[in-house]
Structure 1
Amino acid sequence: MVELVEVKRELIQKIETENENLQSLRSIYQQNLNDMKSRLMSLPKHYEKQREDIRKTRARSFLKWKEEIDYIALQLQRQLHDMESQDITGLKKQEEFFKEKLASIEILLRENKDLKASNKIDKLVRFKPNSDIFTDLPALQEYTRPKFHAKTFEDFKLKEHFGEISGRVLLEHPAYRIQNVKEIKIYKKILLKHPSVLFKINMKSIWIEDSFESLTSIVHFGYNRVWVGGKSKCLVLVDFNGNLIDDIDIASLGNYLALSSKGNLLFSNTKENTVDEILCDRTLSSIIFASPWEPKGMTCTSAGELFVCLYKKDDSKVAKYTDHGELISEFQYDKENHLLFNIPDCIAVNVLQ
C-alpha cells in the first residue's frame, strides 16, 4: 500500500513537471503568434505607403512621357501587389501553425488536469509526457520590406529615372530548442578587459525618413532583431545583418526605448511627457502620464515593473511603476535630503539580483 502511494505521488509530480513545461512553451508560442498578427496588420499600411510614394512621383512627372510613366507605374504596382500577396500568404501560414500548436497544448493541459484530478492509478501509470514534441520550433521566414525609390526625372531613359522597387531578402531565423528546466543554469558573468565587436549595423543605408544626427537607444526584440531609435521621429526594426524589417512613426524623438514584460515596445514621449506603449496592432497607448516631469531612460524588470528616469528644471528622480502605469515608489533623496540624481538619463536592472 505504501509503495502504491509513493508511485502515485511520483506520477502526479511528473504531471506537474509536464504542465510547467507546457506552460512555458505556451508563452513562447503565444509570443510568436502575437508577432505574426502584428506583422500581418502592419503589412498593408507599409505597402499602401509605398503605393502613395509611387502616386506622388507619378503626379510630379505626369506632363512628360505620360504613356510610358503610366506603364511603368502599373508594372511597379503589380510588382508590389505580388510581393504583398506572397508576404501575407507566408505570414498566415506561420500564424496558422502557431494557432494549431497552441490548441494542441491547451488540449494536453486540460487532459493532464483531468488525469491529475482523477487519482486513478491505472490511468496515471499509462501517462506519457508529450511536451517534447513542441520543443523544436521550425525556422521562421520573413521578407525584408520592399521600398519604392523615386528617381530624378530626366528627358531620357525615363524608366530608369522614374523609380524602382528594391529587391527583398528572404530572412530565415534559425530554429531553436527550448532548454529543459533542469538544464537552465545561471552562470557568473565576468567583465572583459577588452570587449569584442560581434555585429556592426550600417544604419545610414536603411534610415527611412529624414537624416538623423545620432542613434541613442536600442532594444533587443528577439530572433536577432533590434528596435533602434535616435534623433528622428521614426523607429526602425532591423536584423543583425542590417536588413530593414519594419518601421513606425512616433510623435517625439525616439531617444529612449524599452521592451515591456509583454514584449511590447515602450518609448518616452518627451513631447507629451508620457510613456507610450506600441501594441501588437501598432496602436499607441499612453501608460504613464508624468507631466510636469519629463520621462527619459527606462527599463523593465522580469516581473513587469517599470523604472523611469524623470526630470524637470532643478529636480530629478527615478520612479517605479507597475506594468499598468500605477506608481509604486520613487527614489529622489538620500538620508540627508540631498538629490540622488542630477539629470538621470539611463537606467538598467541587474537581472541576477
Structure 2
Amino acid sequence: MIASQETTPCQEVVNCSLCRTPVSFFCRRCKINLCDSCIPGHLRVKSEFGHDVVDIGSKDEDDSCFCDAHPQYKCSAYCKTCDVVICIFCISIRHKLHEITELSSNVELFKRFSREKDRLQSFKNEIEPVLNHTNKLLSSFSSIYQKRKDEVSARGEEWHKQVEKTVKKLHQMLDDFKKENRTALQIQKTELEDMIGKINEICKKATKLQKANDIKEMQAFWSILKEKETIQEIRPYTFPSFAECQIDENYLQTYFGYIEKIPEQNVVLTERKLEYDVITDKRILQVPTVSCVIDSGFPPDEKYNARLYDMAVTDDKKVWVGGHSRELKLFDLQGHLHRTVTITCTGIYICLHNKQVVFSDNLKKAVKRVSDDDTVSTVFETKAWNPFGITSTASGDLLVCLRKDDQSKVVRYSSTGTVLQEIQYDSQCQPLYQWAWNIAENINGDVIVTDFKRNAAIAVNQSGMFQYSYGGEKRASELSSVTTDTVGHVFISDFRGDKIHMLDQYGKFLRYIIPRGERIDHPRAICMLDDDELIVGEYLSGLSKTIKFMEEQK
C-alpha cells in the first residue's frame, strides 16, 4: 500500500515517525506511525509488549484493554478492592485475596468510563493553577494599580499645571481598566471554582459506581460523564503599564506617556502554558538612536532617483534587500554581503515565507519564490490583477495586495496558491481600498494595509471586517510601509515626514519615532528586528538603518 501525498488546504500530511515519509500504518503497542518500507525493520525490534501494526485509518479502533501492571496481557477482571481492571496474571499474584469480578462484555464500558474520568481529572489539574494565579492577581491588585498611578503622578509633577488635564485623563483610564479587570477576574474565579466543584461531584459519583460494579447505573451515568464539557481556552488577564516619553511641547501625547493595556489573548490549554509575566520590563527610549547602517549599493532610478524599495528580516537577523535592479541582496547587520540573487523584476515588494524570499512580479503578474540554491520559481499567478505588497501570516498563508484598473483588494492565498479569502468591500459594500500598497499582519490577526491614494493605513480583522483607519489627512506625511511587533504595536514609515508613526493595536496614535543624531531620510521599507529595534530602508540613499527605540527598565 503506497501512502498518498495529496492534501487539502486544511489538511497536513502525517509522516512516518522513523523516516519522515508519508505514513500508511500505525503500531498500537509502540504508538508510532510507520511507512511501508519501515514496517519490516520495526517488527524486528524486540519489545516486551510485542507489536500490533494496523492500517493508519484503524489506529483508533482498538477494542483491547491492556493491563497497566502487565501491558503484554489483556484485562479480564475487575478488582473491587483496588478499583482497577486487571489481567489474569494480576489475579494470581497481587489480587489473590481481593474481591474479583469478571469483565466479560463490559470491558469496553470500563475502559471508556476510566478514560473520560481521567480526562476530567487531567483538565481539573490544568485549571487549578489558573485559579491559584487568579487569586494571586486579586491579592496584589490594588498595589500594582497604585504603583502605576504613582508613576503617572511623578511624571505629571515635572509638567506641573500644563499636564494636569492629561494626568486626570490617564487616572481615569487606569480606574476604568481596574474596574474592568477586577470584574473579569472575579467572574473567572467564580467560574473556575464552580467548574472544579462540578467535576469533583461527577468524578466522585463515577468512582462510586466503579466500586459498586453497577453496570446498569454506569450505563445510565455514562452520558453525563461523556457529555460534561470542558473549556479549551483560558484568558490570562494582564495589567496595563505606563510608558514614559521625552517631554516636548510640540508632542504632548508623544513625549508625556500613555497607558497601554497589554493585549489579552485566549491560550489553548493543550498547546502551551500560560505566560504569567504581566508587567513589561521595557520602556521607550526618550531619544531613539541609529545603531548601525547598511549600504545596499543599488543604483538610482533615472526618473525618481530611487534606490531601495523593500526589506525582509530572516530568523538569524540577516536582511534581504530589494532595490532598483533585478537583484535581491542578503546582508548581515554589520553590512557584509552574503548572497546576491538575480530575479525577473525589480525587488519592490518582498517578504519571508517558510524561511525563503517571496516577491511580487508586476511584469508577469505572479508571486515567485527564491529557493535555497538561488533558483526562482513561480508560486502562483494573479491572473488579471497586478500584485503589490506581500506578507506571510502566522498560519502559513500569504496576503497579497492586488490592483486592476481602479479596483484594489487583498487576497489570502495558501502556500500552493489556492485563494482562501478576498478582502475588498466594507459592510456597506463600499471599497475598502483605492490602492492597496503595503501590508502586514498583526499578532491579533488584523490585516493592516497602507493605501497609496488615501495616504492612510486601513485595518480589518481576520474575517475582513473594518476595524480602523489611520491618517488620510496630513499631506505633510506620506504613509508607506507597515510592520508590527509581538505585542501588537503598529509601525508605519512616513516617506515625506522622515519619521515612524507608532500606533497601538487598536489604531490609536502613541508617538513618533524620530532618531536623534543620524536622521532618517525618506524612509520606505520597515521591518522589526526584535521588540527593541526597527530597521528602516531609505528610498533615495539606499541605506538601511537600525533604530533602537526600547530599553530595559532600571
Q: Normalising TM by the smaller chain, what interval?
A: 0.3 to 0.5
Structure with bigger gyration radius: 2
Report the TM-score, using the length of structure 1 for normalisation.
Answer: 0.45
Higher strand share: 2
Give the number of the structure with larger relative contact order, counting CA–CA contacts within 8 Å between residues 6 or more apart.
1
Higher helix share: 1
